[in-house]
């Protein structure tokens, strides 16, 4: 049998270790039942959400937040946000969830390879071949910054940062 953990902010609702939300309320009614049923979540911007009746009002709540409240405890502070440690929005198991600061969430994205870099960044003007060419012209041939910047339609500071491996670091140039 599934072990249910109560959700403190939502009396009559529970979470299980698979990340599902359960209710003791009758479907479509406010009355409580003795046999909990698993709720059917719906998609909310990629995250799963459920509608809960709390204090006589229906409130839309995200499943991962409810699971955290049930297994970890309430949000530690207003600065804390919920984190999917593997960055899979639909994986709401307690072992994949944690409270953390925004910087923790950003570190998760970096660790999981979900930060757009280089050509996958929508604002990039350059290809990986362009970056290699800029580094070759600047570092190997000693070309001045301005002509290189004009050829690639980027700023002089951008050429300098590329040549110094400050930007496009995932394409690090081997040292001579």
**Is the pLDDT reported for residue 32 higher than 70?**
no
User: Tell me: the pLDDT tens digits for 112-130?
Assistant: 888 767 776 777 889 889 9
Q: What is the mean pLDDT of residues 17-43?
A: 81
Domain spans, the chain: 5-111, 118-171
CATH topology of domain 5-111: Homing Intron 3 (I-Ppo) Encoded Endonuclease; Chain A (3.90.75)
Percent of the chain topping pLDDT 90: 65
How would residue 174 be classed by pLDDT, with cut points 50, 70 and 90?
low
* Tokens representing residue 173 in the block: 């140039």
Full-model pTM: 0.69
**Is the pLDDT reported for residue 57 higher than 70?**
yes
Report the pLDDT value the prediction gives residue 115, as an integer from 0 to 100. 75
Q: What is the mean pLDDT of residues 28-53?
A: 82
């Amino acid at each position: 049998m599934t072990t249910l953990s109560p959700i403190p902010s939502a009396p009559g609702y529970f979470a299980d270790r698979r990340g599902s939300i359960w209710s003791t309320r009758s479907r479509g009614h406010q009355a409580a039942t003795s046999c909990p049923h698993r709720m059917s979540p719906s998609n909310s911007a990629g995250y799963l959400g459920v509608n809960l009746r709390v204090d006589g009002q229906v409130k839309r709540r995200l499943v991962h937040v409810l699971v955290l409240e049930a297994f970890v405890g309430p949000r530690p502070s207003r600065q804390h946000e919920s984190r999917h440690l593997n960055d899979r929005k639909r994986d709401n198991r307690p072992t994949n969830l944690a409270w953390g600061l925004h910087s923790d969430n950003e570190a998760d994205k970096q660790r999981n390879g979900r930060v757009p870099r280089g050509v996958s960044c929508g604002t990039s003007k350059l290809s990986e071949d362009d970056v290699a060419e800029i580094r070759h012209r600047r570092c190997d041939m000693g070309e001045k910054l301005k002509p290189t910047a004009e050829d690639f339609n980027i700023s002089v500071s951008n050429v300098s940062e590329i040549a110094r491996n400050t930007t496009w670091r995932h394409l690090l140039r081997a040292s001579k």
